[in-house]
Structure 1
Amino acid sequence: MKLWFKIVALTALSAVPVLSDILRVEAGGGAWMQTPKGTIAYETSTDSGSSTNREDQTQRGYAWLYVKHPVPVLPNLRLEYCNISTDGDVTVTLGSLIPVTTSSTSSFDTNEYDAVLYYNLLDNTFWTTLDLGVDIKALDYRFDVAPTNDLIAYGGYSKSGTLVLPLLYARARFEIPGTGLGIEGLGSYVSYQKSHVYDARVKADWTMTFVPGIQPGVEAGYRIQKITINVDDKAIDGDIDFSGLYVGAFLRF
């Protein structure tokens, strides 16, 4: 998954010098100060557990790349990456006939890769942009519960995998004429049976329009991501969200 994401991103960037007259490209990245909340549960044939996320703020990186082209029938492309992670405290239940409980700790880490195919319904029309499309979100996740050697010995638990979800994507943007300032909101959402995922953010940015050619800029906003999902029939049952401020920089070609 990581190799696929890098190949697509590098291919798009390598095309910029050749197609600079017909392509519009933006690329950026920064830090997301995320605070996790919620729980993650799991169940095996011999034990089960429920982990409560510690609400400790962590700083994680993100990156994005827009590629816009003038061909009406083909969708434009947006690529994104971010990392979400959290530690938790777990109550573990062992056995079924005479169950006993013990305590442990957990860690949850996910690398997210998004490939968004979208169309411009409005393309800076009266300084307004409106995009609509599909977000293919791939979650490379790992969940670990630490073994214990206290009064009750416990061997721990580990689960990892890749989950791919199609989400509806929308983006709205307004630019204040003559200032380089922009206000933007974007988000993705899907709901299926007992699972739903959404990823939403609002931001303000400033582009240094007085710089010719490649124009730098800075952005700041707020992002919230909610994941309620069941993986492999109770192997992992998560209800978690990550939210917080983010700041970054970008380049417009």
Structure 2
Amino acid sequence: MRKLMLAVGGSLFLVAPVSQADVVGLGASVSYWDSDLSGQAATNNDVVDVENDLNLDSDANANASLYLEHPVPLLPNVRLNYTLVEQSGRGDVGLTGFDGVTGDVQSDLDLEQLDLTLYYEVLDNWVNLDLGLTARDLTGDLIVRQANGLATSETSIDGVIPMGYLAARFDLPLTGVSVGAEGNFISFDGDSLHDFNAYGQYEISLIQFRAGYRQMSIDYEDGNDRLDVEIGGPFVSAGVSF
């Protein structure tokens, strides 16, 4: 399945025209994402609702990105993006329980992903359009502990996943204001991952400020473990570009 997913994602490069920056460009940004979580986790044929049963709530979400654009023909531009989502909560899985854990529980969910994106600039004026391919290194761990400490369950996913990449931005001339959206996506054989955001941006000199909304959906199976969750909420970011 993974080979077919890679082939599907890689086909984006066959249709992307070669268009590069006129000069070398470098940029970086950091952001805070205030997200809510919903969905289910499953292990060993047991299923739990992460919102209603576990009462998971956001502890910390962080995001950082770095990109390099260059004028070298045929070679793609490069973007690195790191996202960390941490959720915890006290809940109740009842007498039927989840994976051997029953009653009151303390739960922690950690999702970590590192993206390497290779992309081409298809348009680069007041309308900007980028197309490319992302390799996402995704790890996720859900720990559910019985309140009395007698039983613990762990649900884990781990994989490197190819995804399509699309980014568009529209600049309002002479204002420093722009609006845009970007996303990664893949869907195949029951697994799917989607990660989109839409934003407004204000740029002054080398500094960029963004505010928008990000929605991430993960439906991924790794052996006997599966995460089927959605994470969404507003974000703010600050960055520099040279």
The TM-score, its normalising length taken from structure 2, stands at 0.80
| SS class of match (1:185) | strand
How large is the RMSD of aligned CA atoms in angstroms?
Answer: 2.3
Distance 1:33 1:94, change over 3 A: closer
Q: May I ask how many residue pairs the two structures share in their alignment?
A: 214
| SS class of match (1:239) | strand
- From 162, 166, 187, the equivalent of 1:166 is 162
Equivalent runs, 1:24-103 vs 2, <5 Å? 24-43=25-44, 48-53=46-51, 54=55, 56-87=57-88, 89=91, 91=93, 92=97, 102-103=103-104
Give the structure 1 partner of residue 222 of structure 2.
231
Question: How far is 1:85 from its partner?
Answer: 2.6
Q: Percent identity?
A: 29
More divergent stretch after superposition (138-147 vs 66-75): 138-147
- From 231, 235, 238, the equivalent of 1:246 is 235
Larger Rg: 1
CA contact (8 A) 2:176 2:202 kept: yes
Question: How far is 1:105 from its partner?
Answer: 3.3
CA contact (8 A) 1:35 1:58 kept: no
Q: Structure 1 residue 218 and structure 2 residue 209: aligned?
A: yes
Q: Which runs of 5+ in 2 are unaligned?
A: 1-21
CA contact (8 A) 1:40 1:238 kept: yes
Equivalent runs, 1:144-183 vs 2, <5 Å? 144-149=143-148, 154-160=150-156, 162-183=158-179
Question: How far is 1:106 from its partner?
Answer: 2.2
Alignment-mate amino acid for residue 246 of structure 1: F
Question: How far is 1:72 from its partner?
Answer: 2.5
| SS class of match (1:119) | strand
| SS class of match (1:146) | strand
Name the CA distance, whole Å, in 1 between partners of 2:219 and 2:155: 17
Question: How far is 1:39 from its partner?
Answer: 1.3
Question: How far is 1:148 from its partner?
Answer: 4.8
Name the CA distance, whole Å, in 2 between partners of 1:59 and 1:247: 14
Which structure's relative contact order is higher, taking Cα pairs within 8 Å and 6+ residues apart?
A: 2
Question: How far is 1:90 from its partner?
Answer: 5.8
Q: Structure 1 residue 196 and structure 2 residue 192: aligned?
A: yes
Question: How far is 1:141 from its partner?
Answer: 2.1
Question: How far is 1:52 from its partner?
Answer: 2.3
Q: Which runs of 5+ in 1 are unaligned?
A: 1-20, 210-214
The TM-score, its normalising length taken from structure 1, stands at 0.77
